[in-house]
Amino acid sequence: MDILSDTLEVLRTGRPMVTRTDAHAPWALRFRPVSGAGFHVVVEGHCHLLPPQGRPIALGPGDIVFLRRGSGHVLCDAPDRDPVDFVPDRVDRSSPIGRVAVGGPGPHTVLVCGAYAIDVDRPHPLFSDLPEVVHLPAVPGRHPVLRSAVDQLCAEFHAPQPGSDAVVTALVDLLLLYILRSWHAELPKERTRGWAAALTDPAVAPALRAIHDDPGHPWTVESLGSRAGLSRAAFARRFATVVGEPPLTYLTNWRMATAARLLHRSPAPLSTIAQHTGYTSEFAFAKAFKRHFGSPPGAYRKQALTRGPSATPYPGSRQRSTHHPNTP
């Protein structure tokens, strides 16, 4: 099992949304806090991102910023501008790529802004390990796969061809994985804690693969530790130190996340989902699911079907806004 791919697949709650922003100086847009994660790519021109905390981040062509949760922020041509609130209703959604224009008669900046429907209220270590804002500047020779995807994205915006909407949507989907890979690659090799370290840790990685390969197996701390040849106590300490939570806590959280995905995307009966996620009866599964998410599995499935796959929040998450994050 590819743990990173599996984790992203489970944590997603819908398809990414994409918007092209054509901004002419002077301009400044304020984005309110929302649920999810998002990014901005500078296709051409220059601008600044003003994070919730810290100094402004200057952005140039090819630069990427990723916001791991929907923190409020400002995009502008100059840090001293007075921002106006981004209004989702003003975005042209007549195609999969939304479009919006802001500003005045000055220099032109083109941005690709993406939003990922991802649970941020029940964070997985994959995202809680990230800083609030990840800045990946366009440096020649650095992160070539990511740069290639960005170059393709920019090419589609510079010279749209038949099928560009589908190409851009697919590239935006891939960018999330490439961004995470690139950030992990920049971490110090001696780093021993966090999700990036867990994926390569000789004791923790085999246990994670086992859990992701078969979440319904009756795993114990001892059986997971045996994968790395460690005693129960030694493995429990190492797993908690590296991942940030005990192994059985991670197992339970992953089972619940897997169950939520199946309820959302599969017509399988509750008894089948219960068995797949390690519960001996439908009653035990329903009780655990309600304790974890605050609502029974049947009610969640009904809600998910009513809202549709692209609008349903992650189970238990708070919908702080009706629009997607960071998407002008």
Q: Is 30 exposed, middle or buried (0-12, 13-18, 19+ CB in 10 A)?
A: middle
Q: What is the dihedral of CA 16, 263, 289, 225, to 10 degrees?
A: -80
**Reported CATH class of domain 3-185:** mainly beta
- Would residue 308 be called left, alpha or beta, if left means φ above 0 and alpha means ψ between -120 and 50 degrees? left
**Percentages of the chain per state (helix, strand, coil), in multiples of 5:** 40, 20, 40
- The predicted pLDDT at position 82 comes to 94
Task: Give phi and psi for 159, each to the nearest 5.
Answer: -140, 80
More confident residue, 165 or 190: 165
- Rounded to an integer, what distance in angstroms lies between the CA atom of residue 41 and that of residue 19? 11
DSSP bridge partners of 28: 76
Name the residue ranges covered by the structural domains of the chain: 3-185, 195-307
- The predicted pLDDT at position 120 comes to 62
pLDDT average, residue stretch 223-247:
95
Structure tokens at 260: 């939520």
- Rounded to an integer, what distance in angstroms lies between the CA atom of residue 4 and that of residue 163? 29
pLDDT average, residue stretch 138-150:
90
pLDDT exceeds cutoff 60 at 315: no
- Rounded to an integer, what distance in angstroms lies between the CA atom of residue 290 and that of residue 313? 16
Kindly give the pairing relationship between strand 108-116 and strand 133-136: unpaired
pLDDT exceeds cutoff 70 at 30: yes
**Reported CATH class of domain 195-307:** mainly alpha
Prediction pTM value: 0.81
Handedness of CA 68, 70, 72, 75 (dihedral sign): positive
pLDDT average, residue stretch 91-109:
85
- The predicted pLDDT at position 306 comes to 63
